[in-house]
């Protein structure tokens, strides 16, 4: 064996090791969790006093005293109309019902507005039915109206959020929120899942079009107006005004920053990026009085 071949054989393992070490080390550095959070670095937000009042809080406290553990757990669970019927509420005391983006009465994507109102009324009736050992609790019915009331035939459909973000027009977003609320409310719904405050940073995420853009400033400028458009002006002790519905700032924090753009994946990012990019859309919505925030995704 000549000297050249010996040197080549000796150098290949070293070369391979030299190439492999950075490749192996990179994910370890990227995924090492920070052990200390810094609350002072996070943006401040405070819900206005108008989201509740002493009388409402007293009613809730009294109601909870009457509820069983099963009923309390049920209030945290949301069922989709594609997987259950109104009659199921006689067995399962759920707190809310969802009509997701692919759900419709009897699975009919072209169901009439009357079919929608009839179905929602049936769920509400079952939730309030008097039964031994059960506490009647009003039901929340949520509809995933992400760009207009897109579940119902004949409703107004607006461009997806990524297109609206290109408009740079917060006033337009508020008007779209109001129009969406009116059409959801007339169909019987009282809750929708918006504004979307995701900040998509990887176009491989198949739902990146749901965000207003990759710039957190755009997202932050839209989340407050959309909240106002959906919910209107909140008045202590009064229900939401007719033609308005409750909103939900969504999705869970950093949904637009997942590794490789995987839907519902892990966000392997620093706390600094979490704060400066992905958290910016929530405070304006909270300050505007958003009634719910999506706590999982």
Three state DSSP letters for the chain:
CCHHHHHHHHHHHHHHHHHHHHHHHHHHHHHCCCCCCCHHHCCCCCCCHHHCCHHHHHHHHHHHHHCCHHHHHHCCCEEECCCCCHHHHHCCCCCEEEECCCCCHHHCCCCCHHHHHHHHHHHHHHHHCCCCCCCCCCCEEEECCCCECCCCCCCCECCCHHHHHCCCCHHHHHHHHHHHHHHHHHCCCCEECCCECCCCCCCCCCCHHHCCCCCHHHHHHHHHHHHHHHHCCCCCCCCCCCCCCECEEECCCCHHHCHHHCCCCCCCCCHHHHHHHHCCCHHHHHHCCCCEECCCC
pLDDT of 6 reads: 32
> DSSP strand E in the chain: where?
78-80, 96-99, 140-143, 191-192, 248-249, 292-293
CATH number, residue 110:
3.20.20.300
Position 231 in a domain: yes
- pTM, full prediction: 0.85
Position 24 in a domain: no
Position 40 in a domain: no
Position 283 in a domain: yes
Position 101 in a domain: yes
What dihedral angle (degrees, nearest 10) is formed by the CA atoms of 278, 263, 229, 81?
-150
pLDDT of 33 reads: 58
Position 54 in a domain: yes
Position 154 in a domain: yes
What dihedral angle (degrees, nearest 10) is formed by the CA atoms of 49, 55, 57, 62?
180
- Which domain covers residue 95, as residue numbers? 48-293
Q: Domain count for the chain, please give it.
A: 1
Secondary-structure percent of the chain, ordered helix, strand, coil, rounded to 5: 45, 5, 45
Position 59 in a domain: yes
Q: Are residues 170 and 121 in contact, defined by beta-carbon separation less than 8 angstroms?
A: no
Q: Are residues 271 and 37 in contact, defined by beta-carbon separation less than 8 angstroms?
A: yes
Sequence-distant (≥ 6) Cβ neighbours of residue 199 within 8 angstroms: 211, 213, 214, 215, 216, 219, 256, 257, 277, 278, 280, 281
Under DSSP, the state recorded for 196 is B
pLDDT in tens, the chain (297 residues): 443 333 233 333 333 333 333 333 333 334 455 678 999 999 999 999 999 999 999 999 999 999 999 999 999 999 999 999 999 999 999 999 999 888 999 999 999 999 999 999 999 999 999 999 899 999 999 999 989 999 898 999 999 999 999 999 999 999 999 999 999 999 999 999 999 999 999 999 999 999 999 999 999 999 999 999 999 999 998 999 999 999 999 999 999 999 999 999 999 999 999 999 999 999 999 999 999 999 887
């Amino acid at each position: 064996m000549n000297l050249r071949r010996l040197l080549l054989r000796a150098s290949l393992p070293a070369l391979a090791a030299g190439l492999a070490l950075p490749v192996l080390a990179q994910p370890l550095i990227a995924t090492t969790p920070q052990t200390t959070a810094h609350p002072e670095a996070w943006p401040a937000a405070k819900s206005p006093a108008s989201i509740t009042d002493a009388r409402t809080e007293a009613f809730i406290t009294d109601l909870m005293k009457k509820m069983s553990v099963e009923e309390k757990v049920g209030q945290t669970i949301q069922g989709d109309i594609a997987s259950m019927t109104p009659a199921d509420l006689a067995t399962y005391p759920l707190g809310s019902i969802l009509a997701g983006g692919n759900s419709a009465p009897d699975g009919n994507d072209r169901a009439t507005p009357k079919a929608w109102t009839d179905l929602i009324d049936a769920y509400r009736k079952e939730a309030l039915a008097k039964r031994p050992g059960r506490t009647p609790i009003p039901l929340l019915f949520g509809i995933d109206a992400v760009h207009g009331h897109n579940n119902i035939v004949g409703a107004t459909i607006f461009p997806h959020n990524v297109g609206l973000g290109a408009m740079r027009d917060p006033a337009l977003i508020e008007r779209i929120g109001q129009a969406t609320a009116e059409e959801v409310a007339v169909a019987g719904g009282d809750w929708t899942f918006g504004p979307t405050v995701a900040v998509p940073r990887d176009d491989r995420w198949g739902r990146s079009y749901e965000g207003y853009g990759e710039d957190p400033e755009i997202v932050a400028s839209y989340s407050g107006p959309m909240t106002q458009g959906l919910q209107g002006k909140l008045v202590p002790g009064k229900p939401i005004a007719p033609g308005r519905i409750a909103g939900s700032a969504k999705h869970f924090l950093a949904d637009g920053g997942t590794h490789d753009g995987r839907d519902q994946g892990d966000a392997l990012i620093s706390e600094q990026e979490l704060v400066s990019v992905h958290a910016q859309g929530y405070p304006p919505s909270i300050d505007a009085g958003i009634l719910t925030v999506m706590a999982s995704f």
